[in-house]
Amino acid sequence: MLNYKAAEDRYEKMQYRRCGKSGIELPLISLGLWHNFGDHDDFGNARNILRTAFDNGITHFDLANNYGPPYGSAESNFGEIFKEDFAHYRDELIISTKAGWDMWPGPYGNFGSRKYLIASLDQSLKRMGLDYVDIFYHHRPDPKTPLEETMGALDQIVRSGKALYVGVSQYNAEDTAKAAEILKAQGTPFLIHQPRYNMMDRWVEDGLLDTLEKVGIGSIVFSPLEQGILTSKYLKGIPEDSRAATEGSYLDKSQITPQLVEKIGALNDIAESRNQSLAQMAVAWLLKDDRVTSVLVGVSKVSQLEDNIAAIHNINFTEVELDKINSILK
């Protein structure tokens, strides 16, 4: 007997977009397991988030070898939940993982060597209890390892059946084009690029999105809310349970300046005029561009996930709205 039965109307609740020139469509909203799925987090809450995601048509779960903390724990916890709840739905899911950041001590547990990437994926598959992942990413550029070696490792991984597609994260436009050329020559399906992108961090607009469109590669963008800045939570101070108030967080309270709060307030006014929360508008703003295949969200509560999903119902902007947003952010 199944522990969990997915909502029968799940595919009626989500919209999907073609990933580059591939045969894959991804949900407009995908779920990232970077935060809130480690050993220090509430297992039951993580399980409810995953169930809610799939019940709403989110078919893509995104992980990496070092997600946690501690490293590897997000994959292990996901594997336990997958076995109990999602094994029956494996063919309806796109599961991805990555390697490229530090994972274990010594010279072979980091960056982009063939040895590291293949060993890391083998470990990830064991932790998740999977025979293969749908997408395996090189998580960041490696300035010292030849691109031919890194792409050759991705090619070998696909040919071994351990991944169906490959992708990269945080590569610039030039290196993305080179990687695409190498993979095309090898006959390996280069599906997707995962860059950081949001209203306040728009580096991908300086050539990368154009390159992806030209080559036929999709994109899934992370940090759409700029670590929670693009929400209304900081409009009246710094909440005790926020990232900015958490020791060791990627967001420091010193970043929440009066000038920033003023900008957030102005953006929030526009969101309210659109009958959206600021978080919803930030997600919708990304999805207005068809070159963005999917937006990767990380949430700590089911209610946050549901709020993000609701953004897909209004992703159109007037020129006046876009001009106002640009004037606020310049």
CA 44, CA 37: separation in Å to the nearest integer? 10
Give pLDDT, residue 233: 81
**Which amino acid is residue 265, in one-letter code?**
G
Of 19, 330, 308, nearest to 199 by C-alpha is: 330
Give pLDDT, residue 256: 76
Residues of the chain below pLDDT 70: 1-2, 237-254
**For the chain, which domains are there?**
10-226+277-316 (3.20.20.100)
Distance between first and last Cα of the chain: 56
- How many Cα atoms are found within 13 Å in the side-chain-facing hemisphere of 163? 27
Where helices occur in 85-234 by DSSP H, the ranges are: 114-128, 147-159, 173-186, 208-215
Give pLDDT, residue 245: 46
CA 300, CA 305: separation in Å to the nearest integer? 8
The answer to whether 49 and 207 have CB atoms below 8 angstroms apart is no
Give pLDDT, residue 39: 97
Give pLDDT, residue 246: 53
Give pLDDT, residue 36: 93
Q: What is the pLDDT of residues 293-305, one digit of tens each?
A: 999 999 999 999 9
Which single residue is written with the structure tokens 């071994």?
Answer: 160
Tokens at 27, concatenated: 């949900």
Give pLDDT, residue 148: 98
